[in-house]
Amino acid sequence: MLDSRVRASIIAAFFGGGCSSDASGPVADGTGIDDGLSAEAGGSSSTAVGSTGGAATTPSTDDGLDEGGSTETPGDPPVVWDVGILTDVPGSTCGAPTSIPCDDDDDDPWHAMGINCDVGPQGEGVANGDPLGFYVHTGNVGTFEPAPFPPREGEKILIISSGVASDMVVPNAGASTNIVGFVDNGADPPPPINVIAVSPTEDCAANDALVGTGDCSNTIQAQWEQGNGANDYVEMRLVTEVPFETYSFSYDFAMFSVEYPVFYQSSFNDMYIGWLESELWTGNISFDEMGRPISLNAGFLDYKDAPNPIDCPAPCQAPELAGTAMVGHAGTKWLTTTAGVTPGEEITVIFAVFDLSDGILDTVVLLDNFQWGCSGGAPVTIPG
């Protein structure tokens, strides 16, 4: 790991510059991050969130990720987790509740995601992490037209970050200073998140006996082991009961990181994990459009606004990031995750982002448009 002063000098030297890519040891022991940083769901009206309390798109079952051949690289487990191999539920049995946005009423983070409105998904929600890591934003993120990051339902988007979340909508803000209130102990993510792969050869869709033994997708461990533990961890954690005749849920997200390009493909492999704890799946459910986990090194970064020597030589620009803190850095498009569930079961869904190996440079995730559906099947993520 770089000395922080050396790293800071590299950062300072680099931030004067600004590439859009047309291309498309063992796990550390730990007891998890202190859950004492939690705040129960409620009716907070503050835009900088510290405590938390219709016209939706039908999830697609066509993952669109198999065209163009395999994306596997040496060392990847021979697992196919995203093909939706479970039989979809017949549409005639669908009774999933519709959603009506309510985020015009307040700055509640759950309302911004489409949760706990009068009509639509309901549940008990907790935000864990420093209050500065959460921010509810109204309207488009950034100034590029046509807007690449408009709200996906209602008028608002929830932003979570391993830094100051509100910085995301400040043009050219770049890295924030490390926040004293964040957890910088390099711990494992808190339970039930378990980074260990369930098998070197199959996932939980292929073998349901593996459910509950680790990460059903087998995608987190290889990325986690590139670094030295989680820092500046923040999460939104939802516990909810699946409604009658409802067989899936979906949500939209996009990830960005200031770690790109200086520390791209290094041990500072910041990560986003969408974790599902259910009867059918215990593990990561969110991936990039190439089917890889959402980390700096593994994730397919659609927008790269600076060159790097690995996969985006100069010129390399992403005007889509204009008007955000990610000018000169990188991010994904809107992506939509859909995961199958069982009617009547209680599930936990965790939306978590953290810095890997240090707490200096920040990674940001946009969250919106949580809704129930009927597609069923193994988790799949498609471009939004």
pLDDT digits over 172-194, tens only?
887 665 665 555 567 899 999 99
Residue 183: predicted pLDDT: 55
Residue 251: predicted pLDDT: 98
Residue 178: predicted pLDDT: 63
Residue 384: predicted pLDDT: 79
Residue 193: predicted pLDDT: 97
By CB neighbour count within 10 A (0-12 exposed, 13-18 middle, 19+ buried), where does 200 fall? exposed
Residues 6+ positions from 103 with CB-CB distance below 8 Å: 111, 112, 114, 117, 136, 154, 155, 156
3-state secondary structure of 206: coil
Distance between CA atoms of residues 121 and 175, nearest Å: 34
Judge whether 198 and 210 are in contact, CB under 8 Å.
yes
Residue 228: predicted pLDDT: 87
Average pLDDT of every residue of the chain = 81
Tell me how many degrees the CA angle 181-183-186 measures, rounded to the nearest 5: 155
Lowest mean pLDDT among 140-149, 225-234, 269-278, 335-344: 225-234
Residue 299: predicted pLDDT: 87
Residue 179: predicted pLDDT: 63
Residues 6+ positions from 381 with CB-CB distance below 8 Å: 63, 82, 285, 286, 287, 288, 289, 291, 335, 336, 337, 338
> In the numeric block, which tokens belong to residue 112?
């911004």
Residue 323: predicted pLDDT: 97
Taking residues 336-355, what's their average pLDDT? Answer: 97
3-state secondary structure of 7: helix
Say if residue 255's pLDDT is above 60. Answer: yes
Distance between CA atoms of residues 325 and 333, nearest Å: 16
207 against 25, higher pLDDT: 207
Residue 291: predicted pLDDT: 87
Judge whether 57 and 282 are in contact, CB under 8 Å.
no
3-state secondary structure of 12: helix
Say if residue 87's pLDDT is above 80. Answer: no
Distance between CA atoms of residues 353 and 371, nearest Å: 21
Phi, psi (deg, nearest 5) at residue 11:
-60, -50
Residues 6+ positions from 209 with CB-CB distance below 8 Å: none
pLDDT in tens, 133-186: 999 999 999 999 999 999 999 999 999 999 999 999 999 887 665 665 555 567
pLDDT in tens, 114-127: 999 999 999 999 99
Taking residues 194-203, what's their average pLDDT? Answer: 97
Say if residue 107's pLDDT is above 50. Answer: yes
**Count of C-beta atoms within a 10 Å radius of residue 144:** 17
Residue 51: predicted pLDDT: 35
Taking residues 80-90, what's their average pLDDT? Answer: 42
Strands of the chain (E only): list them: 38-40, 124-128, 134-138, 156-161, 230-241, 248-257, 271-277, 282-284, 294-295, 303-304, 330-331, 335-340, 346-356, 363-373, 380-383
- Cα–Cα nearest to 82, from 332, 331, 340, 279: 340
219 against 84, higher pLDDT: 219
- Cα–Cα nearest to 224, from 33, 333, 311, 354: 354
pLDDT in tens, 10-66: 344 433 334 444 433 333 333 334 443 344 444 333 344 433 333 333 333 343 333
Taking residues 187-202, what's their average pLDDT? Answer: 95
Judge whether 165 and 171 are in contact, CB under 8 Å.
no
Distance between CA atoms of residues 234 and 231, nearest Å: 9
pLDDT in tens, 287-332: 998 889 999 999 899 999 999 999 999 999 999 999 999 999 999 9
3-state secondary structure of 168: helix
Alpha carbon 193 to its chain's center: 14
- Cα–Cα nearest to 290, from 301, 282, 281: 301
pTM, whole model, 2 decimals?
Answer: 0.79
Distance between CA atoms of residues 228 and 188, nearest Å: 9
Residue extents of the structural domains in the chain = 83-384
Tell me how many degrees the CA angle 145-353-297 measures, rounded to the nearest 5: 75
Percent of the chain with pLDDT over 90: 67
